[in-house]
């Protein structure tokens, strides 16, 4: 049994009376401690897929199992508890602008009932982890994009997740900063054994940190396999286009 | 030599009367502003939901308020209520009703805009941290909405305060009306009086509105960093 099991998941959005299939019968298993990449053109369904993994989006049909638990069977409160075990970071860092860095990290701990002092202590540890303890008093507006994303990572780590979902977490960052963020992700993957799912448009990111990769196209799973194999020898048209085009454009 | 006019300001009880007029204008402003902010906020939250019917009703309400000059509304409420409903509404109360009616519509529109401008991923980000819906609304969406509201709602408030000078049209003796009365009474003895009087009224309004816009500025400054 895998850590994350997605079985025959479909998702249809209804907009203006018409239904639109964003995911079609997707089955993917992700192992514990793995770093798993998801690539595909814009609109392929990548974000929809990872949002199904923590039920921010409920699949129209199919099953999502995390560590053996079928998410559809969870009650509201249980689902929230489960979500704390599934951190998520976004392209938009979504920090609270009115709180300083330390409080941004401590905030989710406080609202889930931890004492303020304790929450801050833990937050400070996490800031050290991402190399930002000297910025703890700064406000998000005073940070660079990479620093903001590091705060977001520290915040995601605060609830001691077993999984971290990254939806284009490095898309707004320059290559050097991206590398730094990827280092941190690799670090926490090794140190805590956290399973990481990475959505990205940058093939170099996949090559750099992912073990396996899935290729989505128009809501369908076109190809899945080890990065080394997929990148050297892509079978599907979708994968070929993504991989060869990116090489050409990078030069 | 002619009286320079400024002395008229302090003749007899003139200045006290001006201040009394100002306090009436401010009382009307204050009450209608408070009602508008609260009611407008409530309406704004309501129409940000999914209910189509509420949106349509609100649309009609907002457009009515925007198309009708406030003076017409004042006449309708003050004179119309007596004629049509047979009840006598005090001029000051009529003014408050009209300004609150107007202000609530505008405020609701501001609130709707502020809520809409908060990106969905803010909500998702909080939800992915396992926060309760209520916590997300109260601790994350609400504070950001309020911040975004500050500049525009302060602007509305100062606009409302200025517009209260219209209430003299239905017989409320507020500061501008007092000023005009004093001008009338002293026109022959000091021809310059109009200049001094309107200048003073301007200054009084300025003194009333300035702290409010200062407050807004300093809040914005404070929050820009934070
Ligand atoms: N809430 C929604 N309502 C209706 N349609 C939606 C909704 N969310 C996504 N879609 C549609 O589903 C499809 C997949 O969207 P998704 O956001 O998963 O794509 P993506 O692969 O993440 O793209 P990108 O790389 O641009 O982020 C798109 O065609 C999108 O328009
Ligand atoms: Mg996306």
Chain B CB contacts of A139 under 8 Å are 225-226
How far is residue B170's CA from residue B91's CA, in Å, rounded to a whole number? 6
Q: In this predicted model, what pLDDT tens digit does every residue of A7-56 receive, in sequence order?
A: 999 999 998 889 999 999 999 999 999 999 999 999 999 999 999 999 99
Q: Which of B52, B123, B129, B226 should one mutate to test binding to chain A, selecting the residue with the greatest count of A CBs within 10 A?
A: B129
Name which of A116, A186, A120 is nearest A153 in CA terms. Answer: A186
Calculate helix-pair angle for B14-47, B91-116, nearest 10 degrees.
Answer: 40
**Predicted pLDDT of residue B2:** 53
Chain A CB contacts of B125 under 8 Å are 88, 90, 92, 94
**Predicted pLDDT of residue B187:** 82
Taking the Cβ of residue A51 and every Cβ of chain B, the question of whether any pair is shorter than 8 Å is answered with: yes
Number of H helices, E strands in chain B: 10, 0
Where along chain B do its domains lie? Answer: 6-225
CB A157 within 8 A of CB A87: yes
Mean predicted confidence (pLDDT) in A109-125: 91
- Across chain A, which distance is largest between two alpha carbons, in Å? 54
**Predicted pLDDT of residue B11:** 81
What is the average pLDDT value for chain B, to the nearest integer? Answer: 87
Ligand 1 environment, Cβ below 6 A: A 13, 15, 20, 22, 40, 42-48
Contact call for B128 and A159, based on CB within 8 A: no
pLDDT band at B50 (very low <50, low <70, confident <90, very high): confident
Q: In this predicted model, what pLDDT tens digit does every residue of B101-140 receive, in sequence order?
A: 999 999 999 999 999 988 888 888 999 888 888 889 888 8
The correct CATH number of B6-225 out of 1.10.3720.10, 3.30.565.10, 3.40.50.300, 3.40.50.2300 is: 1.10.3720.10
Percent of all residues in chain A with a pLDDT value above 70, rounded to a whole number: 98
- Residue A56 dihedral angles phi and psi, to the nearest 5°: -65, -25
Given the DSSP bridges, would you call strands A4-15 and A18-30 parallel, antiparallel or unpaired?
antiparallel
Contact call for A142 and B225, based on CB within 8 A: yes
pLDDT at B86 over 80: no
Chain B CB contacts of A51 under 8 Å are 124
B136 CB-near residues (< 8 Å, 6+ apart)? B123, B126, B127
Q: In this predicted model, what pLDDT tens digit does every residue of A72-100 receive, in sequence order?
A: 999 999 999 999 999 999 988 889 888 89
Name all domains of chain A by residue range, CATH numbers in brackets.
4-85+161-250 (3.40.50.300), 97-160 (no CATH)
Q: Which of A76, A98, A123 should one mutate to test binding to chain B, selecting the residue with the greatest count of B CBs within 10 A?
A: A98
The alpha-carbon gap from A53 to the nearest alpha carbon of chain B, in Å, equals 10
């Amino acid at each position: 049994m895998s850590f994350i099991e997605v079985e025959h998941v479909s998702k249809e959005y209804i907009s203006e009376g018409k239904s639109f299939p964003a995911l079609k019968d997707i089955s993917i298993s992700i192992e514990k401690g793995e770093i798993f990449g998801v690539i595909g053109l814009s609109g392929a369904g990548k974000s929809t897929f990872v949002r199904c993994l923590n039920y921010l989006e409920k699949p129209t049909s199919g099953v999502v199992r995390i560590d053996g638990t079928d998410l559809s069977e969870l009650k509201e409160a249980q689902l929230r508890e489960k979500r704390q075990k599934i951190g998520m970071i976004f392209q938009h860092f979504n920090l609270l602008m009115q709180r300083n860095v330390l409080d941004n990290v401590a905030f989710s701990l406080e609202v889930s009932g931890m004492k303020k002092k304790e929450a801050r202590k833990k937050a400070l540890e996490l800031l050290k982890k991402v190399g930002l303890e000297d910025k703890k008093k700064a406000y998000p507006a005073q940070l660079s994009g990479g620093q903001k994303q590091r705060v977001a990572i520290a915040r995601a780590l605060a609830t001691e997740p077993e999984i971290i979902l990254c939806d284009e977490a490095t898309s707004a960052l320059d290559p050097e900063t991206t590398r730094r963020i990827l280092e941190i992700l690799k670090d926490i993957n090794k140190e805590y054994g956290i399973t990481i799912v990475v959505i990205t448009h940058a093939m170099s990111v996949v090559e750099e940190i992912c073990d396996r990769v899935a290729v989505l196209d128009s809501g369908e799973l076109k190809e899945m396999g080890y990065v080394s194999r997929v990148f050297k020898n892509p079978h599907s048209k979708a994968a070929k286009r993504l991989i060869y085009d990116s090489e050409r454009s990078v030069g | 030599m002619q009286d320079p006019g400024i002395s008229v300001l302090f003749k007899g009880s003139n200045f006290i009367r001006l201040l009394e007029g100002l306090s009436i204008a401010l009382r009307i402003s204050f009450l209608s502003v408070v009602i508008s902010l609260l009611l407008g906020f409530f309406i704004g939250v309501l129409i940000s939901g999914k209910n189509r019917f509420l949106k349509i009703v609100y649309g009609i309400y907002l457009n009515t308020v925007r198309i009708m000059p406030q003076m017409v509304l004042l006449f309708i409420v003050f004179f119309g209520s007596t004629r049509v409903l047979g009840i006598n509404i005090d001029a000051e109360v009529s003014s408050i009703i009209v300004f609150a009616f107007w202000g609530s519509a505008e405020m609701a529109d501001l609130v709707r805009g502020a809520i809409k401008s908060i990106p969905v991923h803010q909500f998702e980000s909080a939800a992915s941290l396992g926060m309760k819906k209520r916590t997300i609304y109260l601790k994350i969406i609400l504070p950001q909405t309020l911040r975004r509201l500050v500049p525009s709602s302060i602007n509305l408030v100062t606009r409302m305060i200025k517009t209260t000078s219209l209430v003299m049209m239905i017989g409320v003796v507020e500061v501008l009306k007092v000023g005009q009365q004093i001008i009338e009474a002293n026109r022959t003895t000091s021809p310059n009086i109009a200049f001094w009087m309107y200048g003073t009224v301007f200054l009084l309004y300025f003194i009333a509105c300035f702290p409010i816009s200062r407050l807004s500025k300093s809040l914005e400054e404070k929050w820009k960093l934070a």
